[in-house]
Protein backbone atom coordinates (compact mmCIF):
# COMPACT_ATOMS: atom_id res chain seq x y z
CA UNK A 1 0.00 0.00 0.00
CA UNK A 2 1.21 3.52 -0.81
CA UNK A 3 2.43 5.00 2.48
CA UNK A 4 1.03 8.37 1.45
CA UNK A 5 -2.41 6.99 0.69
CA UNK A 6 -5.19 7.07 3.25
CA UNK A 7 -6.11 3.61 4.58
CA UNK A 8 -9.47 2.23 3.53
CA UNK A 9 -12.13 1.99 6.21
CA UNK A 10 -14.50 -0.75 7.21
CA UNK A 11 -17.62 -0.61 9.36
CA UNK A 12 -17.72 -3.15 12.18
CA UNK A 13 -20.33 -3.23 14.90
CA UNK A 14 -21.53 0.25 14.04
CA UNK A 15 -17.98 1.64 14.25
CA UNK A 16 -15.94 2.93 11.31
CA UNK A 17 -12.36 1.75 11.73
CA UNK A 18 -9.23 2.13 9.57
CA UNK A 19 -8.43 -0.83 7.32
CA UNK A 20 -4.64 -0.88 6.95
CA UNK A 21 -2.65 -3.83 5.64
CA UNK A 22 -2.11 -4.88 9.27
CA UNK A 23 -5.84 -4.62 9.89
CA UNK A 24 -6.67 -6.76 6.87
CA UNK A 25 -4.17 -9.42 7.92
CA UNK A 26 -5.61 -9.41 11.44
CA UNK A 27 -9.12 -9.93 10.04
CA UNK A 28 -7.87 -12.83 7.93
CA UNK A 29 -5.91 -14.58 10.67
CA UNK A 30 -7.88 -13.82 13.85
CA UNK A 31 -11.43 -15.14 13.94
CA UNK A 32 -11.86 -16.16 17.57
CA UNK A 33 -10.55 -14.36 20.65
CA UNK A 34 -10.24 -15.93 24.09
CA UNK A 35 -10.29 -13.77 27.21
CA UNK A 36 -8.96 -15.05 30.53
CA UNK A 37 -10.93 -13.42 33.35
CA UNK A 38 -14.47 -12.02 33.45
CA UNK A 39 -13.68 -9.10 35.74
CA UNK A 40 -13.96 -5.41 34.89
CA UNK A 41 -11.19 -5.42 32.27
CA UNK A 42 -12.09 -8.75 30.70
CA UNK A 43 -15.70 -7.62 30.42
CA UNK A 44 -14.75 -4.37 28.69
CA UNK A 45 -12.41 -6.14 26.27
CA UNK A 46 -15.11 -8.68 25.38
CA UNK A 47 -17.50 -5.78 24.73
CA UNK A 48 -15.33 -4.02 22.15
CA UNK A 49 -14.00 -7.22 20.54
CA UNK A 50 -17.45 -8.74 20.00
CA UNK A 51 -18.83 -5.44 18.73
CA UNK A 52 -15.99 -5.36 16.19
CA UNK A 53 -17.03 -8.64 14.62
CA UNK A 54 -14.93 -11.25 16.41
CA UNK A 55 -16.20 -14.35 18.21
CA UNK A 56 -15.29 -14.15 21.89
CA UNK A 57 -14.94 -16.86 24.52
CA UNK A 58 -14.50 -15.79 28.15
CA UNK A 59 -12.88 -18.15 30.66
CA UNK A 60 -13.55 -17.74 34.37
CA UNK A 61 -13.85 -20.29 37.17
CA UNK A 62 -16.91 -18.50 38.54
CA UNK A 63 -19.98 -18.67 36.29
CA UNK A 64 -21.61 -15.88 38.29
CA UNK A 65 -18.79 -13.52 37.27
CA UNK A 66 -19.49 -14.28 33.62
CA UNK A 67 -23.21 -13.71 34.16
CA UNK A 68 -22.41 -10.36 35.80
CA UNK A 69 -20.11 -9.53 32.87
CA UNK A 70 -22.88 -10.22 30.38
CA UNK A 71 -25.36 -8.12 32.36
CA UNK A 72 -22.87 -5.23 32.45
CA UNK A 73 -22.14 -5.59 28.73
CA UNK A 74 -25.85 -5.59 27.89
CA UNK A 75 -26.31 -2.42 29.94
CA UNK A 76 -23.30 -0.66 28.43
CA UNK A 77 -24.25 -1.56 24.86
CA UNK A 78 -27.81 -0.35 25.54
CA UNK A 79 -26.28 2.99 26.52
CA UNK A 80 -24.44 3.08 23.18
CA UNK A 81 -27.70 2.32 21.35
CA UNK A 82 -29.44 5.16 23.20
CA UNK A 83 -26.67 7.55 22.10
CA UNK A 84 -26.93 6.41 18.48
CA UNK A 85 -23.42 4.98 18.36
CA UNK A 86 -24.57 1.46 17.49
CA UNK A 87 -27.89 -0.05 16.43
CA UNK A 88 -30.06 -2.50 18.34
CA UNK A 89 -29.12 -5.10 15.69
CA UNK A 90 -25.40 -4.44 16.31
CA UNK A 91 -25.97 -5.00 20.03
CA UNK A 92 -27.94 -8.22 19.58
CA UNK A 93 -25.35 -9.67 17.19
CA UNK A 94 -22.42 -8.73 19.43
CA UNK A 95 -24.02 -10.24 22.53
CA UNK A 96 -24.53 -13.54 20.69
CA UNK A 97 -20.84 -13.64 19.79
CA UNK A 98 -19.77 -13.91 23.47
CA UNK A 99 -19.48 -17.41 24.95
CA UNK A 100 -18.31 -18.88 28.24
CA UNK A 101 -16.02 -21.68 29.41
CA UNK A 102 -15.05 -22.51 32.98
CA UNK A 103 -11.53 -23.74 32.19
CA UNK A 104 -8.75 -21.75 30.54
CA UNK A 105 -7.73 -24.90 28.66
CA UNK A 106 -10.98 -24.66 26.69
CA UNK A 107 -9.58 -21.57 24.92
CA UNK A 108 -6.97 -23.75 23.18
CA UNK A 109 -8.58 -23.41 19.74
CA UNK A 110 -8.68 -19.57 19.77
CA UNK A 111 -6.51 -17.54 17.38
CA UNK A 112 -5.69 -14.91 20.01
CA UNK A 113 -5.94 -15.21 23.78
CA UNK A 114 -5.85 -12.09 25.96
CA UNK A 115 -5.14 -12.56 29.66
CA UNK A 116 -7.02 -10.13 31.91
CA UNK A 117 -6.52 -11.75 35.31
CA UNK A 118 -5.62 -9.97 38.54
CA UNK A 119 -2.51 -7.74 38.46
CA UNK A 120 -0.29 -10.28 40.20
CA UNK A 121 2.82 -11.58 38.47
CA UNK A 122 2.79 -15.01 40.13
CA UNK A 123 -0.84 -15.58 39.13
CA UNK A 124 -0.24 -14.52 35.55
CA UNK A 125 2.90 -16.64 35.21
CA UNK A 126 1.07 -19.74 36.43
CA UNK A 127 -1.78 -19.16 33.98
CA UNK A 128 0.59 -18.78 31.03
CA UNK A 129 2.91 -21.64 32.01
CA UNK A 130 -0.04 -24.05 32.36
CA UNK A 131 -2.04 -22.92 29.36
CA UNK A 132 0.43 -21.88 26.64
CA UNK A 133 1.51 -25.44 25.64
CA UNK A 134 -2.15 -26.36 25.06
CA UNK A 135 -2.85 -23.39 22.76
CA UNK A 136 -2.88 -24.29 19.09
CA UNK A 137 0.21 -23.70 16.99
CA UNK A 138 0.35 -20.23 15.42
CA UNK A 139 -1.99 -18.61 17.94
CA UNK A 140 -1.01 -15.39 19.69
CA UNK A 141 -0.87 -14.68 23.42
CA UNK A 142 -1.37 -11.23 24.94
CA UNK A 143 -1.47 -9.85 28.45
CA UNK A 144 -3.55 -6.89 29.54
CA UNK A 145 -1.11 -6.24 32.39
CA UNK A 146 -0.81 -2.57 33.28
CA UNK A 147 2.70 -2.77 34.72
CA UNK A 148 4.39 -6.20 34.71
CA UNK A 149 7.32 -7.09 32.44
CA UNK A 150 6.15 -8.60 29.15
CA UNK A 151 9.56 -10.22 28.72
CA UNK A 152 9.24 -12.09 32.03
CA UNK A 153 5.68 -13.21 31.33
CA UNK A 154 6.60 -14.35 27.80
CA UNK A 155 9.52 -16.38 29.15
CA UNK A 156 7.02 -18.59 31.03
CA UNK A 157 5.42 -19.72 27.77
CA UNK A 158 6.35 -22.00 24.88
CA UNK A 159 6.01 -19.10 22.41
CA UNK A 160 7.74 -15.92 23.66
CA UNK A 161 8.03 -14.70 20.06
CA UNK A 162 4.21 -14.79 19.77
CA UNK A 163 3.60 -12.96 23.06
CA UNK A 164 2.81 -9.25 23.44
CA UNK A 165 1.48 -6.73 25.93
CA UNK A 166 -1.92 -5.32 24.97
CA UNK A 167 -2.89 -2.89 27.73
CA UNK A 168 -6.45 -1.58 27.36
CA UNK A 169 -7.51 1.44 29.38
CA UNK A 170 -10.47 1.34 31.78
CA UNK A 171 -13.36 1.60 30.96
CA UNK A 172 -12.48 -0.20 27.73
CA UNK A 173 -15.59 0.73 25.69
CA UNK A 174 -15.00 4.44 26.39
CA UNK A 175 -11.23 4.90 26.42
CA UNK A 176 -9.54 5.27 23.03
CA UNK A 177 -6.01 4.16 23.88
CA UNK A 178 -4.33 0.75 23.90
CA UNK A 179 -0.66 0.44 24.85
CA UNK A 180 1.25 -2.18 22.84
CA UNK A 181 4.37 -3.51 24.55
CA UNK A 182 6.91 -5.79 22.90
CA UNK A 183 8.92 -8.18 25.02
CA UNK A 184 12.53 -8.77 24.06
CA UNK A 185 11.48 -11.89 22.10
CA UNK A 186 8.30 -10.55 20.45
CA UNK A 187 8.72 -10.92 16.69
CA UNK A 188 7.63 -8.53 13.95
CA UNK A 189 4.77 -10.74 12.75
CA UNK A 190 3.22 -10.79 16.23
CA UNK A 191 3.58 -7.04 16.60
CA UNK A 192 2.01 -6.34 13.19
CA UNK A 193 -0.93 -8.67 13.83
CA UNK A 194 -1.51 -7.20 17.29
CA UNK A 195 -1.36 -3.68 15.90
CA UNK A 196 -3.79 -4.60 13.12
CA UNK A 197 -6.16 -6.26 15.58
CA UNK A 198 -6.25 -3.20 17.83
CA UNK A 199 -6.86 -0.97 14.79
CA UNK A 200 -9.91 -3.06 13.84
CA UNK A 201 -11.34 -2.32 17.29
CA UNK A 202 -11.29 1.39 16.47
CA UNK A 203 -8.65 2.07 19.14
CA UNK A 204 -5.55 4.29 19.00
CA UNK A 205 -2.18 2.71 19.75
CA UNK A 206 0.74 3.98 21.81
CA UNK A 207 3.83 1.76 21.60
CA UNK A 208 5.75 1.45 24.86
CA UNK A 209 9.09 -0.10 25.69
CA UNK A 210 9.01 -2.92 28.24
CA UNK A 211 9.81 -0.92 31.37
CA UNK A 212 7.86 -1.06 34.66
CA UNK A 213 4.29 0.33 34.30
CA UNK A 214 4.92 1.30 30.65
CA UNK A 215 3.79 4.86 29.75
CA UNK A 216 0.36 5.66 31.18
CA UNK A 217 0.78 4.13 34.63
CA UNK A 218 4.43 5.22 34.90
CA UNK A 219 3.03 8.77 34.93
CA UNK A 220 -0.46 8.33 36.39
CA UNK A 221 0.12 6.07 39.40
CA UNK A 222 2.90 8.15 41.02
CA UNK A 223 0.50 11.12 40.82
CA UNK A 224 -2.19 9.09 42.59
CA UNK A 225 0.36 7.86 45.14
CA UNK A 226 1.41 11.46 45.80
CA UNK A 227 -2.25 12.40 46.32
CA UNK A 228 -2.48 9.63 48.94
CA UNK A 229 0.69 10.98 50.61
CA UNK A 230 -0.93 14.44 50.60
CA UNK A 231 -3.88 12.93 52.46
CA UNK A 232 -1.63 10.85 54.76
CA UNK A 233 0.38 13.90 55.79
CA UNK A 234 -2.73 15.95 56.51
CA UNK A 235 -2.17 18.53 53.79
CA UNK A 236 -5.79 18.21 52.71
CA UNK A 237 -8.90 16.07 53.09
CA UNK A 238 -10.13 13.63 50.45
CA UNK A 239 -12.68 16.18 49.30
CA UNK A 240 -10.17 19.05 49.21
CA UNK A 241 -7.55 17.08 47.28
CA UNK A 242 -9.98 15.90 44.63
CA UNK A 243 -11.60 19.32 44.32
CA UNK A 244 -8.17 20.96 43.96
CA UNK A 245 -7.16 18.70 41.07
CA UNK A 246 -10.54 18.86 39.32
CA UNK A 247 -10.82 22.65 39.46
CA UNK A 248 -7.16 23.62 39.72
CA UNK A 249 -5.69 21.25 37.13
CA UNK A 250 -8.86 20.69 35.08
CA UNK A 251 -8.79 16.91 35.66
CA UNK A 252 -12.14 15.24 34.92
CA UNK A 253 -11.85 13.20 38.12
CA UNK A 254 -9.90 13.78 41.32
CA UNK A 255 -6.93 11.43 41.94
CA UNK A 256 -8.46 9.74 44.98
CA UNK A 257 -11.77 9.20 43.24
CA UNK A 258 -9.82 7.83 40.28
CA UNK A 259 -7.89 5.49 42.57
CA UNK A 260 -11.18 4.10 43.87
CA UNK A 261 -12.35 3.61 40.28
CA UNK A 262 -9.14 1.78 39.29
CA UNK A 263 -9.07 -0.30 42.48
CA UNK A 264 -6.71 0.43 45.36
CA UNK A 265 -5.25 -3.08 45.14
CA UNK A 266 -4.33 -2.45 41.50
CA UNK A 267 -2.86 0.95 42.38
CA UNK A 268 -0.73 -0.66 45.07
CA UNK A 269 0.39 -3.46 42.76
CA UNK A 270 1.56 -0.99 40.11
CA UNK A 271 3.42 1.12 42.68
CA UNK A 272 5.13 -2.01 44.01
CA UNK A 273 6.21 -2.94 40.47
CA UNK A 274 7.63 0.57 39.97
CA UNK A 275 9.34 0.62 43.38
CA UNK A 276 10.90 -2.83 42.99
CA UNK A 277 11.66 -2.51 39.28
CA UNK A 278 13.29 0.92 39.34
CA UNK A 279 14.73 0.91 42.89
CA UNK A 280 13.90 4.58 43.40
CA UNK A 281 12.44 5.81 46.69
CA UNK A 282 10.14 8.24 44.87
CA UNK A 283 7.99 5.22 43.92
CA UNK A 284 7.54 3.96 47.50
CA UNK A 285 3.84 3.16 48.01
CA UNK A 286 2.22 5.40 50.59
CA UNK A 287 1.63 3.54 53.89
CA UNK A 288 -1.98 4.77 53.87
CA UNK A 289 -2.58 3.11 50.51
CA UNK A 290 -1.17 -0.13 51.96
CA UNK A 291 -3.45 0.22 55.00
CA UNK A 292 -6.59 0.65 52.90
CA UNK A 293 -5.74 -2.46 50.88
CA UNK A 294 -5.04 -4.43 54.07
CA UNK A 295 -8.49 -3.39 55.32
CA UNK A 296 -10.10 -4.67 52.14
CA UNK A 297 -11.22 -1.16 51.22
CA UNK A 298 -10.35 -1.41 47.55
CA UNK A 299 -12.59 1.30 46.10
CA UNK A 300 -15.84 1.11 44.18
CA UNK A 301 -15.72 -2.65 43.67
CA UNK A 302 -15.86 -3.24 47.46
CA UNK A 303 -18.09 -0.19 48.15
CA UNK A 304 -15.40 1.47 50.29
CA UNK A 305 -12.09 3.11 49.56
CA UNK A 306 -11.25 6.80 49.86
CA UNK A 307 -15.02 7.19 49.51
CA UNK A 308 -17.84 5.16 51.03
CA UNK A 309 -20.22 4.10 48.22
CA UNK A 310 -22.82 2.29 50.33
CA UNK A 311 -25.25 5.18 50.47
CA UNK A 312 -27.00 7.26 47.82
CA UNK A 313 -23.94 9.51 47.37
CA UNK A 314 -20.22 8.76 47.86
CA UNK A 315 -18.95 10.08 51.21
CA UNK A 316 -15.23 10.67 51.93
CA UNK A 317 -13.79 8.21 54.46
CA UNK A 318 -11.18 10.68 55.75
As annotated, the active-site residues are 146, 167, 179, 217
Strand partners, 36: 59, 115
Residues 6+ apart with CB under 8 A from 59: 34, 35, 36, 37, 38, 100, 101, 102, 103, 104, 106, 107
Q: How many CB atoms lie within 10 A of CB 67?
A: 13
Q: 39: helix, coil or strand?
A: coil
Q: Of 135, 134, 115, nearest to 125 (Cα)?
A: 115
* Strand pairing report for 32-36 and 112-115: parallel
- In DSSP notation, 147-188 reads SS-HHHHHTTSS-GGGEEEEEE-SSTTT--EEEEEE-TT--H
Distance CA 60, CA 172 (A): 19
- Phi, psi (degrees; rounded to nearest 5) at 314: -65, 135
Q: How many CB atoms lie within 10 A of CB 24?
A: 17
- If one counts every other C-beta atom within 10 angstroms of the C-beta of residue 136, the result is 11
User: Distance (Å, rounded) from C-alpha 297 to C-alpha 145?
Assistant: 22
| Cα–Cα distance, 315 to 150 (Å, whole number) | 38
Q: Are strands 32-36 and 140-143 parallel, antiparallel or unpaired?
A: unpaired
The answer to whether 136 and 105 are in contact (CB under 8 A) is no
Task: List the one residue out of 31, 112, 45, 113 whose CA is nearest residue 73.
Answer: 45
Residue 78, φ and ψ in degrees, nearest 5: -60, -35
Amino acid sequence: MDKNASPKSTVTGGLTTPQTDDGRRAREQIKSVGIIGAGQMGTGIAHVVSLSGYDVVMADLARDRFDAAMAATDKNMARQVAKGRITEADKATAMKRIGYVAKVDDLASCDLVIEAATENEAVKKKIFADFAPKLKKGALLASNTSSISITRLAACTDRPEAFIGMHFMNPVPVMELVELIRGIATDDVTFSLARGFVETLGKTIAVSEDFPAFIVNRILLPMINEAVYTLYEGVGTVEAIDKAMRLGANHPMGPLELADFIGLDTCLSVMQVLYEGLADSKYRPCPLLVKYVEAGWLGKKTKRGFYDYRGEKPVPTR
